Chains A and B, each alone.
Chain A
């Protein structure tokens, strides 16, 4: 445990080290510290993942925390491994990416990056309510400063504030939940919450809902997801990757931690989690399809994947409710594996979008195109990550989605009609989500990297900055590795799964390993056949003429690259189908003459949750709070008087009237 904490301190110290370092050396110093931290964090983490057990360290604080336990168990270890590696990759990426920000407050960037990485790790081990809330807030605040890094830009400032407010709203639920839990259990330690949470009744349901809303806000669960599509595009790309790949997973971690303490959940909660997760995933990917800003699209896609993880959790909970360890195991394997998988491919996609942005200075896909020729390596890795996030075979996304599919399919043999209907709902929804993801990522990759540039690039894009590619390359190896050798992950997940499904016989994991081995054979067949057919093609063409000519344009000779399908037009037929769910505002301007020379068309997508839930809610809140506006007179004397009156009332309250 001391090793682990040394690593955390090193991450934090990396930021401080960057302050004193010279402008050019800051990123390298930070990288040095972060890399060193890995040697302290990863060994205990993998030790626990592989062998089980836990590391405990009691820490003595003054009141009100008291004795707080820092525990690294297998669940914490799984998330800590992702967090630690994520921090390392972003520190590598920042070496190249942050060059253009030299002289613009780089110190603060690294200080907060160190703080954010360290606090995420502490969130995963802190098991005392107050300590947890402190590190949780530290994580939110440090990431807020990172989101608002380019605060010269008004949009970024707005996004930052939006993020900040969303996080505070979320933590309000957590504070309420922890207060209630510790009042009912009489202790601040997590392990004592188990007595309250596992007792079925209205209290445990209320607690779970409060925790779910609080943690769900961080994770991006519908309808509390609205901060993601704002904060992710605003943040510097390395931070977006860390936020999307790692930070939102702390919300998932929180939900799982509460679940672990709840024992067998109430059946209503299990159905609730499954349904809300399906809505989250469908809503996320549908909106992702509609976006033209590449980072906004990736943010919505993160919401989708949080939904998929949630579906896994829901299936796992249903398995526990109906006392079917096999279904529970499949659900949790899917959820936990998808946590890791989403970290790998979403980080690659964000880093890739960072490379694109650093070279073209635009995030609007309608201005991009043909980047594959300029950025071949980025293009290849982006393609692999796109295939993986769509859940297609040969890559890791397929494996985690398959586990969730299996859990849902197994539920068809359950005895409860509600579970069967829920299983079909999840089953078909997962297929729907997958096919929409296919639409979404053929769009991203096809529009940005293939075809011709839609606008001229003023400076030819290049990938000479190799530090931008290293993190992507490392993750791509993992994506392909898990995809081809999926059974290895079972060993890493085994101990976590056993904690969630104590009734599971370890032998029941064997069939899953068998399935994964068969798949790995099938995938090898795919790769072999691709090689065979491509070889055949090359062989057939070796003496034939292969001419290069322009694309067949049906005889129309004056086309330009502007004629290509754009990201908006590619998504249009689908958006037309779901117009009620993803409303678009279209603004057309044309000249009412016979031969118009100029015309413009703008389309904006509206987020339903923002339009129908948050705007009206904030409106009501504003009206209500306006009633008290007379208190704010602006005179200092009055404010001091308020304080005094409050103190006097407090004094009376504490000492008693008698």
Chain B
């Protein structure tokens, strides 16, 4: 029963978390800002609206947001919730997780290309280019966790990650930073992308969904925030100490997820969006961190460092 409640809370929370980030940015800039619940108002307003659909498009355009949101939902079911674990778990479930996000991406890119707009083509092209770096680094992250814990499913990896030996804090910090970079990239946030600039040549994700409106746009935006939430949950999984009472653990992991979103807002307030040509360098940082953590684990395991 508590598991179901947690799951429902998680399903509801992404829009709140996005609102939280926006609020942090506003406060940092000295504005009052929109209410934290603003994304919900937007979401329901969009659900109630009609749509404008480009005459250029084919059915792919219309079904892409539904597939995107469905795939992200199942990715959430694979994600281990702290304490409760995951709905679907099996050996190698992280592959399903990554590839479900890939499925969502594939369809969203096709949706963008379907409009025939060169603008959206540009965004789509960048999205797939950067994902080649992020995806690879993500599997190195998983690799180091699997090496550290000797488990091969998301749930058991994260269940035992906190029981590991003394060097694991260092590894954890490296992995948390790389997952945070992944969150910024996959969530299309500064410095990779800027969600607030709608019509600039520098954008990636927002430009891909320019032609969506109404319920489809609501789906797209919800799926994007859910994807960020899922990655934030992975970060919380890494942090959470194993032997705490249920309630404390729940509150603690919720706080960590919220903190991640606050940090996103802080990062956005502090640094500017990178030049397009510098983004790959930023993303390679994730690869480097993940590789370093793998090396640390391997060195300790084989007694190179004691």
Query: Are B115 and A401 within 8 A (Cβ)?
Result: no
What is the minimal beta-carbon distance from A343 to any residue of chain B, in angstroms? Answer: 21
Query: Are A547 and B50 within 8 A (Cβ)?
Result: yes
Query: Are B71 and A544 within 8 A (Cβ)?
Result: no
Residues of B within 8 A of A435 (CB): 102, 128, 131-132, 135-136
Bits for B90-115, please: 1 = Cβ < 8 Å to A, else 0: 11100110111011011001101111
Residues of B within 8 A of A417 (CB): 298, 302
Query: Are A549 and B55 within 8 A (Cβ)?
Result: yes
Query: Are A442 and B109 within 8 A (Cβ)?
Result: yes
Q: Taking the complex as formed, is A35 at the interface, i.e. its CB lies under 8 A from any CB of chain B? A: no
Query: Are B124 and A431 within 8 A (Cβ)?
Result: no
Q: Please, how many angstroms separate the alpha-carbon atoms of A515 and B96 in the complex?
A: 11
Q: Please, how many angstroms separate the alpha-carbon atoms of A180 and B88 in the complex?
A: 53
Bits for A510-548, please: 1 = Cβ < 8 Å to B, else 0: 010011001101100110011011101100110011111
Q: Please, how many angstroms separate the alpha-carbon atoms of A125 and B66 in the complex?
A: 48
Residues of A within 8 A of B49 (CB): 544
Q: Please, how many angstroms separate the alpha-carbon atoms of A618 and B66 in the complex?
A: 54
Query: Are B118 and A515 within 8 A (Cβ)?
Result: no
| A424 and chain B: residue at smallest CB distance | B143
- If A435-B135, A435-B136, A572-B125 touch, whether A522 touches B47 (CB-CB below 8 Å) is no
Q: Please, how many angstroms separate the alpha-carbon atoms of A263 and B131 in the complex?
A: 41
What is the minimal beta-carbon distance from A365 to any residue of chain B, in angstroms? Answer: 12
Residues of B within 8 A of A261 (CB): none
- If A431-B136, A569-B125 touch, whether A406 touches B92 (CB-CB below 8 Å) is yes
Query: Are A421 and B298 within 8 A (Cβ)?
Result: yes
Query: Are B113 and A447 within 8 A (Cβ)?
Result: yes
Query: Are B152 and A406 within 8 A (Cβ)?
Result: yes
Q: Which of A182-190, A383-391, A592-600 contacts B (4 or more CB under 8 A)?
A: A383-391
| A446 and chain B: residue at smallest CB distance | B113
Residues of B within 8 A of A551 (CB): 54-57, 115-117, 211
Query: Are B102 and A434 within 8 A (Cβ)?
Result: yes
8 Å CB contact of B51 from A442, A511, A547, A574: A547
Q: Which of B18-26, B29-37, B73-81 contacts A (4 or more CB under 8 A)?
A: B73-81
Query: Are B128 and A431 within 8 A (Cβ)?
Result: no
Q: Which of B7-15, B171-179, B213-221, B260-268 contacts A (4 or more CB under 8 A)?
A: B213-221
Residues of B within 8 A of A569 (CB): 121-122, 125
Bits for A204-233, please: 1 = Cβ < 8 Å to B, else 0: 000000000000000000000000000000
Residues of B within 8 A of A96 (CB): none
Q: Taking the complex as formed, is B6 at the interface, i.e. its CB lies under 8 A from any CB of chain A? A: no
What is the minimal beta-carbon distance from A485 to any residue of chain B, in angstroms? Answer: 16
8 Å CB contact of B56 from A423, A452, A534: A452
Q: Please, how many angstroms separate the alpha-carbon atoms of A383 and B114 in the complex?
A: 13
Q: Please, how many angstroms separate the alpha-carbon atoms of A420 and B276 in the complex?
A: 35
8 Å CB contact of B95 from A383, A405, A572: A405
Residues of B within 8 A of A438 (CB): 102, 105-106, 128, 131-132
Q: Which of A307-315, A352-360, A392-400, A609-617 contacts B (4 or more CB under 8 A)?
A: A392-400
Q: Which of A61-69, A235-243, A558-566 contacts B (4 or more CB under 8 A)?
A: A558-566
- If A438-B102, A451-B116, A541-B215 touch, whether A373 touches B52 (CB-CB below 8 Å) is no
Q: Which of A191-199, A407-415, A582-590 contacts B (4 or more CB under 8 A)?
A: A407-415
What is the minimal beta-carbon distance from A441 to any residue of chain B, in angstroms? Answer: 8
Residues of B within 8 A of A409 (CB): 91-92, 143, 146, 152
Residues of A within 8 A of B96 (CB): 393, 398, 402, 519, 522
8 Å CB contact of B47 from A421, A449, A540: A540
8 Å CB contact of B128 from A373, A379, A452, A574: A574
What is the minimal beta-carbon distance from B175 to any residue of chain A, in angstroms? Answer: 14
Q: Taking the complex as formed, is B285 at the interface, i.e. its CB lies under 8 A from any CB of chain A? A: no
8 Å CB contact of A434 from B90, B135, B211: B135
Residues of A within 8 A of B254 (CB): none
Q: Taking the complex as formed, is B210 at the interface, i.e. its CB lies under 8 A from any CB of chain A? A: yes
Residues of B within 8 A of A530 (CB): 63, 66-67, 70
Q: Taking the complex as formed, is B84 at the interface, i.e. its CB lies under 8 A from any CB of chain A? A: no
Q: Taking the complex as formed, is B232 at the interface, i.e. its CB lies under 8 A from any CB of chain A? A: no
Query: Are B60 and A383 within 8 A (Cβ)?
Result: yes
8 Å CB contact of A412 from B122, B129, B147: B147
Residues of B within 8 A of A525 (CB): 74, 77, 88
Max chain B C-beta neighbours (<10 A), residue from A373, A427, A553, A565: A565
Residues of A within 8 A of B131 (CB): 435, 438-439
Residues of A within 8 A of B89 (CB): 518
Residues of A within 8 A of B126 (CB): 573
What is the minimal beta-carbon distance from B47 to any residue of chain A, in angstroms? Answer: 6
- If A526-B100, A537-B215 touch, whether A446 touches B95 (CB-CB below 8 Å) is no
- If A533-B69, A551-B56 touch, whether A573 touches B91 (CB-CB below 8 Å) is no
Q: Taking the complex as formed, is A98 at the interface, i.e. its CB lies under 8 A from any CB of chain B? A: no
| A390 and chain B: residue at smallest CB distance | B106
Query: Are B50 and A546 within 8 A (Cβ)?
Result: yes
8 Å CB contact of B106 from A369, A392, A398: A392
Query: Are A446 and B124 within 8 A (Cβ)?
Result: yes
What is the minimal beta-carbon distance from A413 to any residue of chain B, in angstroms? Answer: 5
Bits for A272-295, please: 1 = Cβ < 8 Å to B, else 0: 000000000000000000000000
What is the minimal beta-carbon distance from B124 to any residue of chain A, in angstroms? Answer: 7
Query: Are A442 and B110 within 8 A (Cβ)?
Result: yes
Q: Please, how many angstroms separate the alpha-carbon atoms of A552 and B112 in the complex?
A: 12
Q: Please, how many angstroms separate the alpha-carbon atoms of A106 and B139 in the complex?
A: 51
Q: Please, how many angstroms separate the alpha-carbon atoms of A400 and B91 in the complex?
A: 14
What is the minimal beta-carbon distance from A307 to any residue of chain B, in angstroms? Answer: 16
Query: Are B92 and A526 within 8 A (Cβ)?
Result: no
Q: Taking the complex as formed, is B245 at the interface, i.e. its CB lies under 8 A from any CB of chain A? A: no
What is the minimal beta-carbon distance from A606 to any residue of chain B, in angstroms? Answer: 21
Max chain B C-beta neighbours (<10 A), residue from A387, A442, A515: A442
What is the minimal beta-carbon distance from B122 to any residue of chain A, in angstroms? Answer: 7
What is the minimal beta-carbon distance from A279 to any residue of chain B, in angstroms? Answer: 16
Q: Taking the complex as formed, is A571 at the interface, i.e. its CB lies under 8 A from any CB of chain B? A: yes
Query: Are A410 and B152 within 8 A (Cβ)?
Result: yes
Q: Please, how many angstroms separate the alpha-carbon atoms of A409 and B121 in the complex?
A: 36
Query: Are A526 and B90 within 8 A (Cβ)?
Result: no
| A391 and chain B: residue at smallest CB distance | B99
Query: Are B50 and A439 within 8 A (Cβ)?
Result: no
Query: Are B132 and A526 within 8 A (Cβ)?
Result: no
A selection of 13 A-B contacts at a CB cut-off of 8 Å is A372-B60, A393-B103, A424-B294, A435-B128, A450-B60, A515-B90, A522-B77, A530-B70, A533-B219, A540-B47, A549-B54, A554-B119, A565-B125
Interface residues of chain A, those whose CB is within 8 Å of chain B, are 369-370, 372-373, 379, 383, 387, 390-394, 398, 401-402, 405-406, 409-410, 412-413, 417, 420-421, 423-424, 427-428, 430-432, 434-436, 438-439, 441-442, 445-447, 449-452, 511, 514-515, 518-519, 521-522, 525-526, 529-530, 532-534, 536-537, 540-541, 544-554, 559, 561, 563-565, 569-574, 577
Known contacts A417-B298, A551-B55; 17 further A-B pairs (Cβ under 8 A): A379-B58, A392-B102, A398-B99, A427-B139, A432-B135, A442-B106, A446-B124, A451-B116, A526-B70, A533-B69, A537-B66, A544-B51, A552-B115, A552-B211, A573-B129, A573-B276, A577-B129
Question: Top 6 nearest A-B pairs by Cβ distance?
Answer: A565-B121, A446-B113, A529-B70, A451-B116, A544-B50, A431-B139
